[in-house]
Amino acid sequence: MEEPLVPVVLMSHTAHIRSHRKPRRTASTTVAMRAGVAGGVLSMAAAGASATANAAEPVTQTIELPTLTGDLADQLAQSADATQLAAANYELDAERDAAAAAAAKEAKKDLAEAKKKAEAKKKAEEARRAAAEAAASRSTERATLSASASTSVSAPASGSVATVISFLKAQVGDAYVMGATGPNAWDCSSLVQAAFKQVGVDLPRVSQDQSMVGTDIPLSQIQVGDILYWGGKGSAYHVGVYIGNGQYLDAANPSKGVVIQDLSGYPASGAVRVL
């Protein structure tokens, strides 16, 4: 008779080992555990980072700076004040230089204007003085008229009118100076006297006396070489010589000097002929 089959129960090789499966935990327990694990991981990470930073950071030596003393602080303050003062002085110097340059430019301009005014004043004074001298000379000539009224001219030994006119024209452009007798400056009567002296005629020195010599000639009949005078006969204050074509030559005044002029512009009072 066959033996009955006995069911064989196969067991795991770990069946004899106490179950390693942990009992199911509640939800609150699981959350707490997870929080703890996370906290631990973060703590480890922070610790690792700190250790790494400490390992990478170079070792340095701390030097303590000296504490500022009162004297040093004062010195620094004084240095700052000195720098500020120097800057202010530099700015002031620059302003002074600019002002000085402007003043110098203005002074130069004023000096130029002053020179112009001085020159104008000098010329005016010279003209006034010359006019005064001319007036005084005319008065002197009139005062000596009575003493020289009898003076006469000597007849020329030789010579010609052409020589007189040539001499006169050679003096054109010379200066008029009261009392001068040449060779580069004349008054009216000294020029006439010198011209006739070239041909041996000795004339008196002053205008009044020259108007008294020779032969009286009507102004309508004057010829080249006749002496013209202005003022009364014997009291003439100016003389010249007729050179033809309605013109005469004379030492006119300080502003003109020795010139040739038209008789129509300044008609003579009378004329005398000595040649």
In terms of residues, how long is the chain? 275
Task: Indicate if the pLDDT at residue 256 is higher than 70.
Answer: yes
| 273 against 9, higher pLDDT | 273
272: nearest Cα among 216, 221, 225, 231: 216
CB 215 within 8 A of CB 272: yes
Task: Indicate if the pLDDT at residue 11 is higher than 70.
Answer: no
The domain covering 145-273 belongs, at the CATH homologous superfamily level, to endopeptidase domain like (from Nostoc punctiforme) (3.90.1720.10)
CB 239 within 8 A of CB 188: yes
DSSP label of 212: T
CB 207 within 8 A of CB 239: yes
Alpha helices in 150-249 (DSSP H): 161-170, 188-197, 207-210
Which residue is associated with the tokens 């004297």? Answer: 71
* Entry pTM: 0.46
User: Which residues are CB-neighbours of 160 under 8 A, at least 6 positions away?
Assistant: 199, 275
Task: Indicate if the pLDDT at residue 1 is higher than 70.
Answer: no
pLDDT, position 87: 82
Task: Indicate if the pLDDT at residue 38 is higher than 80.
Answer: no
Count CA atoms within 13 Å of residue 88 on its CB side. 6
Task: Indicate if the pLDDT at residue 191 is higher than 80.
Answer: yes
Q: Which of 110-114, 176-180, 268-272 has the lowest mean pLDDT?
A: 110-114
Task: Indicate if the pLDDT at residue 67 is higher than 60.
Answer: no
Cα 191 to Cα 180: distance, rounded to the nearest angstrom: 9
Which residues is 217 bridged to in the sheet? 271
Cα 213 to Cα 70: distance, rounded to the nearest angstrom: 114
Q: Phi and psi of 58, rounded to 5°? A: -70, 150
pLDDT, position 148: 41
pLDDT, position 135: 55
Per-residue confidence at 59, pLDDT binned at 50, 70, 90?
A: low
Cα 268 to Cα 273: distance, rounded to the nearest angstrom: 14
pLDDT, position 215: 96
Task: Please give the mean pLDDT across all residues of the chain.
Answer: 76
| 180 against 57, higher pLDDT | 180
Cα 49 to Cα 5: distance, rounded to the nearest angstrom: 69
